[in-house]
Structure 1
């Protein structure tokens, strides 16, 4: 079956929203990227040119395919304009419940009757926002992984009132854009990807917040003990983006009254966001891009003996 979802609007021009938009256009969909802020759309356009280079180098795409992808993309800061022709809207706005609910309420009267809505959230549940959409039966979750062109999974989660037609169409859409749909059989915050990833990243960040280790040493440990992985936890956080990392940690820290998680959120705000280190998309996070330390050929190699002094310096007990 065909999804019949050929006109897509992505709400939110952030890291993953931009990736979903670019990849969907590459796979033949007509796409509008919506964001309230023109500067966010500007950053998304820059990112899309970076993705073009990646698709040329890593996927073997042609210049003609990249130009066709560009022609299928449009950018708008006018919500009514952005969703007017949409068969599917994928919401990828910040992981802040009030923001998501407000966007759904503003959009409800602007959509065509047949239009489906999917949330890209994987830390929040579709049941939290179903009523706000104004069309619960036509709403579910479709969560993508970062680096969508390589990590091509799309998690599908229903809520109690999601129709079978919606799920069939969403699953078909995911397959049409080259994803492997992952059905979530029972609602759970974090779905599969983030049920695995968030505890890992939280544990890694705690090691830095609490002064136990450094980002590079944590990533070396992870990458050596999981040979073959391309990224460690802090490389992953740079890909996700510091704003998303902060939003997730802050929300769940308050929800669970978890002091360590709130400390981790505060650390990211002070040491990363407030310093303009937003992650891969801006060229600087825990690493500097385009040549992060973890990509160096010798990153996982035993060091030379000249490293002993630094190792001892970092290991000696600190005097207060």
Structure 2
């Protein structure tokens, strides 16, 4: 079962990176989003990734060719009509995912495998909406895919071995290092390590122990890490941080409220919008 024609549902920060990573490794790929306005933002993100890939891999011509090959559409029927693999990267909201998969299953061919990139929801939470549980699993990407190239593959009790191995092969063919997650685990491997770290930082901020810049500086000086937790929040995107924190304990919910009122409502979503906890060119 070789997966060639790929569709990515959701063209936000990570969805756009998945599109570019797939195209850069020579596979045809279509990006779907719900409106022309969303697709205009996606086009700008994809344009900005040309320089990232050209610099990292040292092949500007290949980066330009990858960008030129990516199709964008707001027509789901067209986007998935000939897809071997659909990678879902819509917001971390179970209701949105339910609506997306119910629509998707009516358009996609029976052969199509569905993979969620959800960071926080288990695939088994989503599987009942897909209409094809044996052909559904998770393929989780890290941000800045071209250099942080893990591909965490996690199935459910219903996922067929054929679908699982096909997605592992797809991950390898698109420049990822497949991480075989042997059983369902909220947060997979990467986020099981990362989320508690970020949560600890958010609690320090909400409890007024230190400000964001001080917390970041302390972590970087004390460990030699390239990024502090609030720089990571900006990279991941504050919308994602908000969705995760709003389902946590009382302190996490206070952090979610802080994100909403002081950042998200002001259009400050992190690196993607040029400002979050920090300002970016």
Question: Per the shorter chain, which TM-score range?
Answer: over 0.9
- Alpha-carbon distance in structure 1 between the residues aligned to 2:175 and 2:78: 28
Structure 1 position 78 matched with structure 2 position 75: yes
Question: Among 253, 273, 278, which residue is 1:282 paired with?
Answer: 273
Instruction: Show CA shifts across 1:238-275 (max 9, x none).
Output: 1111111111111x22xxxx111111110100111011
TM-score when scaled to structure 1? 0.85
- Uncovered stretches (5+) of structure 1, i.e. residues with no partner: 291-320
- The match for 1:310 is none
Question: Among 177, 182, 185, which residue is 1:188 paired with?
Answer: 185
3-state DSSP of counterpart to 1:284 = coil
- The match for 1:29 is 27
Question: Among 228, 231, 244, which residue is 1:232 paired with?
Answer: 228
Structure 1 range deviating more: 231-240 or 207-216: 207-216
Q: CA deviation at 1:210?
A: 2.1
TM-score when scaled to structure 2? 0.97
Q: CA deviation at 1:102?
A: 1.0
**Larger radius of gyration, structure 1 or 2?**
1
Structure 1 position 55 matched with structure 2 position 53: yes
- Alpha-carbon distance in structure 2 between the residues aligned to 1:86 and 1:220: 45
Q: CA deviation at 1:176?
A: 0.5
Runs of 4+ aligned residues of structure 1 deviating over 3 Å after TM superposition are none
Structure 1 position 101 matched with structure 2 position 98: yes
- The match for 2:244 is 248
C-alpha RMSD of the superposition: 1.1
- Alpha-carbon distance in structure 1 between the residues aligned to 2:210 and 2:37: 36
Question: Among 262, 268, 274, which residue is 1:271 paired with?
Answer: 262
3-state DSSP of counterpart to 1:51 = helix
3-state DSSP of counterpart to 2:67 = helix
Indicate if the aligned counterparts of 2:24 and 2:63 stay in contact, CA closer than 8 A.
Answer: yes
Instruction: Show CA shifts across 1:213-241 (max 9, x none).
Output: 111111111111221x3211111111111
- Alpha-carbon distance in structure 2 between the residues aligned to 1:150 and 1:67: 18
- Alpha-carbon distance in structure 1 between the residues aligned to 2:226 and 2:16: 22
- Uncovered stretches (5+) of structure 2, i.e. residues with no partner: none
- The match for 2:16 is 18
Structure 1 position 125 matched with structure 2 position 116: no
Question: Among 131, 151, 168, which residue is 2:165 paired with?
Answer: 168
Structure 1 range deviating more: 216-225 or 84-93: 216-225
3-state DSSP of counterpart to 1:129 = helix
- Alpha-carbon distance in structure 1 between the residues aligned to 2:126 and 2:10: 17
Instruction: Show CA shifts across 1:114-140 (max 9, x none).
Output: 110000013111111112111111110
Q: CA deviation at 1:61?
A: 2.0
- Alpha-carbon distance in structure 2 between the residues aligned to 1:97 and 1:178: 29
- Alpha-carbon distance in structure 2 between the residues aligned to 1:94 and 1:199: 21
Instruction: Show CA shifts across 1:256-303 (max 9, x none).
Output: xx111111110100111011111111111111113xxxxxxxxxxxxx
- The match for 1:38 is 36
Indicate if the aligned counterparts of 2:47 and 2:67 stay in contact, CA closer than 8 A.
Answer: no
